[in-house]
């Protein structure tokens, strides 16, 4: 390799040879320095340059304490899937004709039926509900469908 380089350098002009020689030495010096040492960096400066511009955090809405949800909240979150659309034969909220025979059972009868499950509806509508929450949900739906049930008083 050195013979080849010597032969090449003899064929070019002396000024060009000096420039080429200087460029090669500079390149070798830079490579040796890069391989042998680590540049000094201000860690805080690096962190500030790569810091995110913004941060998004996804969090669920805090759930109400068990037993504290209103009838409307439960109906919107659980019961409406079937009782708004009439899916699987569920009586639609507000359909007085469909609810009339059910309302004839009274609040206690409706609560008993919903607690055990009825036709395609699983027990408690498939949700984890306290007896008070289930009753509030039934009162909410039934009252929108022609009943005038009173929501049970809070137990203390």
**Shared-domain flag, residues 139 and 78:** yes
**Shared-domain flag, residues 82 and 131:** yes
Helices (H), 51-83: 71-74, 80-83
Count structural domains, the chain. 2
Q: In the structure encoding, which two tokens stand for residue 95, read together?
A: 């359909």
Say how many CA atoms lie within 13 Å of 145 toward its Cβ: 23
Residue 82 domain flag: yes
pLDDT at 104: 93
Residue 13 domain flag: yes
DSSP letter assigned to residue 121: B
Determine the average pLDDT of the residues in 31-43: 69
Determine the average pLDDT of the residues in 111-129: 93
Residue 78 domain flag: yes
Angle at the Cα of 44 from the Cα atoms of 43 and 46, rounded to 5 degrees = 65
The Cα–Cα gap between 96 and 76 comes to 19
| DSSP run (H or E) holding 36 | helix 14-36
Residue 95 domain flag: yes
14 pLDDT tier (thresholds 50, 70, 90):
low
The Cα–Cα gap between 98 and 86 comes to 10
Looking at residue 85, which CATH number applies to its domain? 1.10.760.10
Enclosing domain of residue 136: 71-143
Residue 126 domain flag: yes
**Shared-domain flag, residues 24 and 80:** no
Q: In the structure encoding, which two tokens stand for residue 13, read together?
A: 């002009």
Task: State pLDDT tens for residues 71-106.
Answer: 999 999 999 999 999 998 999 999 999 999 999 999
The Cα–Cα gap between 73 and 75 comes to 6
**Shared-domain flag, residues 30 and 88:** no
Residue 63 domain flag: no
């Amino acid at each position: 390799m050195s013979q080849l380089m010597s032969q090449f350098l003899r064929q070019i002009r002396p000024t060009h040879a000096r420039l080429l020689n200087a460029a090669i030495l500079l390149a070798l010096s830079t490579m040796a320095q890069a391989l042998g040492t680590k540049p000094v960096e201000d860690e805080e400066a690096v962190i500030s340059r790569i810091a995110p511009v913004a941060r998004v955090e996804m969090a669920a809405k805090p759930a109400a304490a068990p037993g504290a949800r209103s009838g409307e909240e439960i109906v919107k979150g659980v019961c409406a899937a079937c009782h708004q659309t009439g899916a699987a034969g569920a009586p639609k909220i507000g359909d007085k004709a469909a609810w009339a025979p059910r309302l004839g059972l009274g609040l206690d009868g409706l609560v008993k039926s919903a607690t055990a499950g009825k036709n395609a509806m699983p027990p408690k509508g498939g949700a984890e509900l306290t007896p008070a929450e289930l009753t509030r949900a039934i009162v909410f739906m039934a009252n929108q469908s022609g009943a005038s049930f009173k929501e049970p008083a809070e137990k203390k």
